[in-house]
Amino acid sequence: MSMHNNLKKLLTIKEEPIVSIFIKTYPGINFAAKNQLKLKTSLKTAKEAHSDVPKKTWELIETQLVNFINEIADKIGQFPSIALYLTPNDYFKFNLNHAIEVDKVIVGPEAYTLPLLAQQATKLSGTILSLHRDSFELHQFKEGVLLKQELPEDAPIDMVSTLGPESTDTTTTHGPTGALHGLNTKDEEKAIDNRNYYLAIEKFLVAHPELIYKRLFLIGLPKNQSLFHELTKLKSVNSEITIKKSPSALTTTEIEKDLLDQNQILINQTIDHLLDRARSLDEVNPSKTNPIGLFALLTQHRVNTLLINEDAVFPGLISDGQIIDTEPGKTTNNLLNDLANFTLRNSGNVYVISADHFNSGQFVYGV
């Protein structure tokens, strides 16, 4: 399940409490035991700090941690950090591409999602089409990780198997796709083969929509990508993010980084545009916005996008559609987090961004 869908499901959870655990992991399977110990220690700390939660509830939550560890024990260290959410009847795990500074655990009626939302680039997901002149591959890109896609038997994996071997005489030949092959001069023949092969790839992708997850990102030399764009009419091809290099010249890590970097550039452009709009909305965003006042605008549908200061904590909770004041020192109750979750549940957008974008005393902008 993608991060987006998993987060959407997490936000539908009604049962309480939700234990939100963030740990910096030890890398690799050799440190699986240490990562598991970190999670167990975090949960123990939470249990000791919240004696008001019934013993039976803690037993159910502890069972969910055991279930998670049994299912994914040696994979915890694949990312620099993870976020794990435990409820009495379920668990949700998210990979974080950047190492968190300090392990922490938060217990409350809401999942603490701000650290996830701060990593907007990890939301990039889709299918990667790696184009060579005479072959192709598909990869799935989810949560910043590239995984090779297994192809069915009818896949035109390379030009020879698709168009058939080149003819050595003047007789017309037909490959498995029925394309003419082997009649023209060498350069002309190569160009025709290239076009016919890319058309075969398009035909295959149209016949197998289940292989394309959300959108299609292209990796390939500029001339190959240009030809593919010229010939094909696939609506899922993304034009904003693409890598114009030979796939064979790139490592998996380089591809992952390049895609995430490009996505972050697009996100930064979006945020800059939203910030300009927010600063012009004096009624919505006075010099020192009170998040409680912003909640009223959210409920009136006058605001559907939030820009949240990643370093800010504002005490308070949302319960039954009302703001509940909490003690300033109780930092686990962060109204900004509840505002973010409320916005996401109502199909809005949330960006958690650097404090550098905010005026003094500003916690959040609404747009």
Phi-psi region of 291 (alpha: psi -120 to 50; beta: other; left: phi over 0): alpha
What's the order of all strands across the beta sheet hosting 126-131? 145-148, 136-142, 126-131, 216-219
Is residue 78 within 8 A of residue 67, CB to CB? The reply is no
Question: Three-state secondary structure along the chain?
Answer: CCHHHHHHHHCCCCCCCEEEEEEECCCCHHHHHHHHHHHHHHHHHHHHHCCCCCHHHHHHHHHHHHHHHHHHHHHHHHCCEEEEEEECCEEEEEEECCCCCCCEEEEECCCCCHHHHCCHHHHCCEEEEEECCCEEEEEEEECCEEEECCCCCCCCCEHHHHHCCCCCCCCCEECCCCCEECCCCHHHHHHHHHHHHHHHHHHHHHHCHHHCCCCEEEECCHHHHHHHHHHCCCCCECCCCCECCCHHHCCHHHHHHHHHHHHHHHHHHHHHHHHHHHHHCCCCCCCCCCHHHHHHHHHCCCCCEEEEECCCCCECEEECCEEECCCCCCCCCEHHHHHHHHHHHCCCEEEEECHHHCCCCCCEEEC
Quick one: pLDDT at residue 170? Answer: 44
Which whole-number Å values give the CA distances from 349 to 220, 255, 282, 304, in the listed order?
Answer: 33, 27, 20, 6
User: Is residue 28 very low, low, confident or very high in pLDDT (cuts 50, 70, 90)?
Assistant: low
Token reading at 21: 């655990």
Mean pLDDT, residues 223-251: 92
Q: Give the Cβ contact number of residue 334 at 10 Å.
A: 25
Instruction: For the chain, give the number of residues.
Output: 367
Give the chain's mean pLDDT.
86
pLDDT (tens digit per residue) in 286-299: 766 678 888 989 99
d(CA 310, CA 50): 26
Instruction: Give 60-104 pLDDT, tens digit per residue.
Output: 999 999 999 888 766 776 778 889 999 999 999 988 877 788 889
Q: What is the pLDDT of residue 305?
A: 95
The arithmetic mean of pLDDT across residues 16-20, rounded, is 93
Instruction: Specify the range with the lowest mean pLDDT, choosing from 116-120, 222-226, 287-291.
Output: 287-291
Provide the pLDDT confidence category of residue 59 given band limits of 50, 70 and 90: very high
| Residue predicted with more confidence, 124 or 259 | 259
Q: Which residue has the tokens 């994996």?
A: 157
Given a cut of 50, whether residue 179 has pLDDT beyond it is no
Can you tell me the mean pLDDT for 163-182? 52
Quick check: 22 and 103 in contact, CB under 8 A?
yes
- The whole-number pLDDT of residue 288 equals 64
C-alpha 132/C-alpha 130 separation (Å) is: 7
Give the pLDDT of residue 168: 44
Predicted pLDDT at 292: 85
Rounded distance between C-alpha atoms, residue 230 and residue 253, angstroms:
29
Model pLDDT, residue 289: 64
- The least confident of 25-39, 77-91, 115-129 is 25-39
Tokens representing 56? Answer: 């039976």
pTM (two decimals): 0.80
The tokens describing 192, both together, are 């025709």
Is residue 216 predicted with pLDDT exceeding 60? yes
Q: Is the pLDDT of residue 121 over 90?
A: no
- Which residue carries 């000791």 as its tokens? 48
User: Would you state the structure tokens that stand for residue 52, as one six-digit string?
Assistant: 């008001």
Contacts of 123 (CB under 8 A, 6+ apart): 3, 4, 263
Name the pLDDT band for 258 (thresholds 50, 70, 90): very high
**What integer is the mean pLDDT of 166-174?**
47
Least confident among 75-79, 135-139, 231-235, 252-256:
75-79
Task: Note the pLDDT tens digit of each residue in 180-205.
Answer: 454 455 778 888 888 999 999 999 99
Span 225-238, pLDDT tens digits:
999 999 988 889 99
Q: Of 31-35, 88-92, 251-255, give the lowest mean pLDDT range.
A: 31-35
Give the pLDDT of residue 91.
Answer: 93
| Confidence at 240, pLDDT banded by 50, 70, 90 | very high
pLDDT recorded at residue 60: 96
Q: How confident is the model at residue 166 (pLDDT cuts 50, 70, 90)?
A: low
Site of tokens 């071997």: 165
Which of 20-29, 230-239, 343-352, 358-367 is modeled with the greatest confidence? Answer: 343-352
Q: In what order do the strands lie in the sheet containing 305-309?
A: 349-353, 305-309, 364-366
pLDDT of residue 173: 47
Beta bridge partners of 218: 129
